[in-house]
Structure 1
Amino acid sequence: MKVVVAVTIKEVSERFGLSSDTLRYYEKIGLLDPVERNSSGIRNYQEKDLARIQFLKCMRISGLSIEMLKKYIHLFHEGDQTIAQRKMILEQQRHELQSKMQELQDSLDHLDHKIETYETNLVRLEKEMALKN
């Protein structure tokens, strides 16, 4: 028997580091399916909702736009005949992320080199100062 987990918006917000407003917005624009509510109207997020939120957060961190996420979710709802299209979106985003990671690595390498240059110059200056004393 599968245990269904019901989680409040506050708990989801804390778990994923997303504001309650962002979660409501995702639901409003269709990135999240309508979330079940209890008799008081409080959202009760289920496992499927949490899995979707994790996916959305991952995709946003990778740089995928809200518009592309909307397209992806729309394709998802159309069914298995859109698998190739969805895969293409993910592959394109993966390529963009790899390019960005290379740019960041190049920047990090440059910074490391500059820091090393400063450290070398500091050691040289300290030795010169020691010789003068």
Structure 2
Amino acid sequence: MNIAEVSKKYNLTQDTLRYYERVGLLPKVNRTASGIRDYTEEDCRWVEFIKCMRQAGLPIEVLIEYVALFQKGDETIEARKRLLIEQREQLIERLDEMNKTLERLNYKIAAYERNAECHP
């Protein structure tokens, strides 16, 4: 797949894909004889993984570290696992905070629907 196809498939800009490659989030993408990026299925799996992790709020720096560890091979499995566990714990904390905010919003909306006076 070329960059335009990958961009469309994953709803990411071509600039974002180039950036991911430049900073090391994506392993170097093969190129055709004419220099056009030629994404493999493996490249696409990385794009999908990165997009998922970014949507969950993982920082670029953490993902760069994860990819670097992955590229070093199986001796980094435990380090990668620890990194993902840490990120999961942080995500759980963010979800808890978001749920608290959602509860407060629901309360405020219900108060407005009852025409009650609302205070912050």
TM-score normalised per structure 2: 0.90
Q: Does 1:47 align with 2:41?
A: yes
Counterpart AA for 1:55? F
Counterpart AA for 1:120? R
Residue of structure 1 equivalent to 2:2: 8
Larger radius of gyration: 1
Report the Cα distance in structure 2 between the residues aligned to 1:90 and 1:108, rounded to whole angstroms.
26
Q: Does 1:121 align with 2:104?
A: no
Q: How many residues align?
A: 116
Q: Does 1:60 align with 2:29?
A: no
Q: Does 1:70 align with 2:70?
A: no
Structure 1: give runs of 5+ residues left out of the alignment. 1-6, 123-133
Structure 2: give runs of 5+ residues left out of the alignment. none
C-alpha RMSD of matched pairs (Å): 1.2
TM-score normalised per structure 1: 0.82
Counterpart AA for 2:72? E
**Secondary structure of 1:33's partner?**
coil
Query: Does structure 2 retain, via aligned residues, the 8 Å contact 1:31–1:69?
Result: yes
Counterpart AA for 2:16? T
Query: Does structure 2 retain, via aligned residues, the 8 Å contact 1:8–1:45?
Result: yes
Report the Cα distance in structure 1 between the residues aligned to 2:104 and 2:90, rounded to whole angstroms.
21
Q: Give deviations 1:20-42, integer Å, cap 9, x for gaps.
A: 11111111122111111122211
Report the Cα distance in structure 2 between the residues aligned to 1:65 and 1:120, rounded to whole angstroms.
41
- The ranges of structure 1 where at least 4 consecutive aligned residues each deviate by more than 6 angstroms after the TM superposition are none
